[in-house]
Chains A and B, each alone.
Chain A
Amino acid sequence: MIELQDVAYSYGGAELFTGLSLTLAPGSFQFLTGPSGAGKTTLLKLCYGDLRATGGVVSLFGMDAATMGRDDVALARRRIGVVHQDCQFLDHLPVAENIALPLQVAGRADEAAGDLDELMAWVGLRGQAAQLPPQLSGGERQRAALARAVITSPDVIIADEPTGNVDWEMSQRLLSLLVELNRMGKTVLIASHDMNLIRTAKSQVSANVLRLKDGRLQTGVAL
């Protein structure tokens, strides 16, 4: 689905990483760990076409990201659900409309009707549907972002520290949502440095752990 071959990324003359390869196979569940500043967010951004590699080949659904136009990237994004570290919404629209936004921009708004209600209940935000995003708590925002990321039923879900500012109970709840999506066949990639969370996940699903440190990516890291 998403493949990085011998990828390098540098900015301002400084090389963040080089010779990095990664394959997100369909249905796989992977964690990305590593110290802060190692380039986890950058690596994720390469995976959804938000940044372009300065070396090597990034292919998204069989297309070379370097040759993709802005519309190609937009279309690829419809197959990748992204949960940012700092979730951003359209602050003037209610939560429910924000969650349905990916369907809206894809011209599939008519699909939202039934799914939206179910999804809101699933992430426990039914009561907040009419609220505006700035009124939500940190955990609610994370869950809203997750709901928005999965409403189009994307092939891949990429989450950057999705449990960054929520308590342990909420982290587990978000994790169980992601595990459930993975069981439905979605590819999941989560950047996190929460080792407890990763351990919990490994008990529920066969997750691979990647570690990005000093510009190198190790796979199959044991905890």
Chain B
Amino acid sequence: MSVVHGRELKKPLREHCDVVIVGSGAGGMTMAAHLAEAGLDVIVLEEGAYYRSQDISAFKPSESLRRLFREAGMLAALGRGQTPTISLTVGRAVGGSSLLTGGVCFRIPSEVHHGWEHDLGLTGLSERSLQDEYADVERRMAVTRVPERLRSESTRRFVRGAELMGVKMHALHRNTGDDCVGSAMCNFGCPVGAKRSVDISYMPSALRHGTRIVSDALVQEIVTKGGRAVGVAGRLLGGRFGKPGLSFRVTARAVVLSCGTIHTPMLLQGQGLRSHGLGRYITVHPCVRMMARFKEPLNGWDGALQSAHTDHFDGEGIKFTSVYTSVNVLAASLPGAGPELMRRVRDMPHYAVFGGMVHDGGGGVVSRGLGREPVLSYEMAPRDLVQLRRAMAILAEMALLGGAEEVLPPIFGAEPVRTKAQVRALMDAPLDARRIECLAFHPLGSARAANDPRRGVVNQDGASYELPGLYIADGSILPTSIGVNSQVPIMTLATRVAWRLRDALLP
């Protein structure tokens, strides 16, 4: 069994199965594998295209952006008020955003679990309750500690600066097994196929157990009967230019939405669902990336894309992790134009990069856009903005202590800083927040789990309060911001939802 390219089908699709899953990313593919392994008949519908992992490995970054990224990599959360426009990374292909991660694997921090359990009454989502799910995800994804030898020289310089600040750095865990060679291309397609994105870690088992996966299938409607979700309908993408695609309709005993935080609420709102918080309170973990120039060449692209982090500032809600990305993407985002830009491009071997991420309060709202794509707007809480600026200051200080000659603050039009005093002056100066170059990779929480229908969209098992037969298994159900990379948390919750659904459907 292989993946069916929906655009190549010649007639409308009508199918029935036990479970139809909308979306094939971290949530959807995890669900599919577990349910199919239990003997259930599963169909996965994915809006994006299917590319084999060896094809993805050969994509240049601009090809990856067009084929694998939603909005060709130009998706953004529009800032409201004193909030920067935030560039968002979200996948649109079989494998979803798991194709685009740096591979970083964190469990949800204990204090977040504690809050879910004791403040929100979500005892089923306590750290102890999810131990088996965590273990299963980490085993399938071959989560391992990044060895010291895979640290790039870029990372080492920031780590040295951090240590001089009294900040201890630790090795990250990633889903690459022992196969990573440190090509620093994870987010555009690992050249050696080491990263266990879900197309590698879960999909083969799902297919072996009979799951049918259809790419290019845009779900537009949840089919209901007697007030219960009984299937989905939509159209296949592709076909003649300007002509509507073929329609499809898949009926099932259970419907699972795994379209991601931005698209799941759109589908639900389109059905007239009005659960509390649907499409609101979205967290994104706003990030900044600091580039620093060192005297000697570092060739920062030689090493794991992400390899080190510190939890020193977790109490303040700031997480620092090493990061690099494809050299052409870094070059394109360098400040300046003309000779100034070209000089910096030629200096690329001298640049090191490190990232900071804020554990944010949840100011995102998703609403209908001009076409079929939703629009995400985001208002940053004043505290989060302060933390973002503090993250920039700490990163700049780390770089300077690590020996950087100059640091390029992620602020449009800002001059490079060369001393600690300049860092302090820049950070103390009034700043239009919309000048901050801000990124985000973890939109979460638009259809939150709650233990009361008046406070959320789904229960702890992912079942919709409003529409029986409907389940949600993606980042949208996370009850709060988590402050760490979201792949393992999403897959862990999806595993829980899958096991509960399996138990409900099987005799």
Is chain B found bound to chain A in the same assembly? no
